[in-house]
């Protein structure tokens, strides 16, 4: 690994260590958000652009470093900016942060993984190059797959960066909208877990299955054409 990659990896590790050593996660909790809600609203009223810029920067860093607190930040977006603007700010920030994590994973780890598992990953890479958008959209729509893990794992494949960005941008809208909308009624929320009810999760799963319809159709069509050739 060259010095630049080592330095970047060390910087990311240092940021993670500082986050946990100084217990910065205590500021990214529902309790902290509720306790500081009025103060944050007052600050936003006095410094609108600064609040938006600070929020988006925090969300991008949190996502890029795979730190805890994404659900609370989405709630905060609704509590501070309302459902519509909050969803836009949170969606753009999460997408940029996820893309940074994807790029870093590809830059730091992809060559090592390919050197060791390249032949085994070739089939997966070919599939992702042709149908990667639908696969990633499915993973984003169904929230049972860890967001940070998808970012890192996708970077180890040949999934095009543009495909990753667009599929992430679109795929996280439903989930983000649910959390941001809940944040707009912050006083009624006692736990982020309350928001992801079985009915909501089932709805996301249904959307995810729709995203896979073109993939299934393509496979069936390919098999039929292959059968005719034989």
Per-residue pLDDT of the chain (230 residues; tens, 9 = 90+): 678 888 888 888 898 899 999 898 999 999 999 999 999 999 999 999 999 999 999 999 999 999 999 999 999 999 999 999 999 999 999 999 999 999 998 988 877 777 776 677 777 778 788 889 999 999 898 877 889 989 988 998 889 999 999 999 999 999 999 999 999 988 788 887 778 766 676 777 777 777 777 777 666 766 766 555 45
Return the pLDDT at 47.
97
pLDDT of residue 199: 65
CB–CB of 87/177 below 8 Å? yes
Contacts of 195 (CB under 8 A, 6+ apart): 71, 178, 179, 182, 189
Q: Is 14 helix (H, G, I), strand (E, B) or coil?
A: helix
- So what's the pLDDT on residue 161? 95
169 φ/ψ angles, rounded to the nearest 5 degrees: -55, -40
Lookup result for tokens 């994590």: 101
Helices (H), the chain: 3-21, 30-35, 37-46, 48-64, 70-81, 83-141, 147-155, 161-171, 173-183, 198-229
User: In 10 A of CB 194, how many CB atoms?
Assistant: 10
Give the up-direction half-sphere exposure of residue 64: CA atoms within 13 A in the CB hemisphere: 20
Question: For the chain, what's the residue count?
Answer: 230
pLDDT number for residue 217: 62
DSSP code, position 86: H
Please state, in angstroms and rounded to a whole number, the distance separating the CA atoms of residues 167 and 151.
12
Distance (Å, whole) CA 182 – CA 192: 9
pLDDT at 59: 98
Distance between CA atoms of 20 and 175, rounded to whole angstroms?
27
């Amino acid at each position: 690994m060259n010095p630049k990659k080592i330095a970047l990896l060390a910087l990311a590790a240092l940021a993670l260590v500082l986050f946990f050593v100084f217990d910065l996660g205590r500021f990214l909790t529902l309790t902290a958000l509720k306790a500081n809600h009025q103060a944050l609203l007052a600050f936003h009223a006095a410094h609108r652009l600064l609040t938006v810029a600070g929020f988006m920067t925090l969300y991008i860093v949190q996502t890029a470093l795979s730190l805890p607190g994404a659900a609370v930040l989405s709630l905060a977006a609704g509590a501070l900016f309302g459902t519509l603007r909050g969803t836009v700010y949170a969606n753009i920030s999460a997408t940029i942060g996820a893309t940074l994590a994807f790029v870093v994973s590809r830059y730091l780890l992809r060559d090592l993984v390919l050197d060791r598992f390249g032949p085994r990953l070739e089939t997966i890479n070919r599939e992702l190059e042709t149908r990667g958008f639908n696969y990633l959209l499915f993973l984003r729509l169904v929230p049972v797959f860890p967001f940070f893990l998808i970012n890192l794992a996708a970077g180890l494949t040949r999934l095009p960066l543009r495909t990753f960005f667009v599929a992430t941008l679109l795929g996280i809208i439903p989930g983000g909208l649910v959390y941001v909308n809940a944040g707009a009624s912050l006083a009624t929320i006692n736990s982020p877990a309350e928001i992801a009810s079985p009915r909501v999760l089932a709805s996301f799963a249904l959307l995810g299955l729709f995203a896979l319809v073109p993939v299934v159709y393509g496979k069936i069509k390919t098999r039929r054409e292959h059968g005719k050739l034989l």
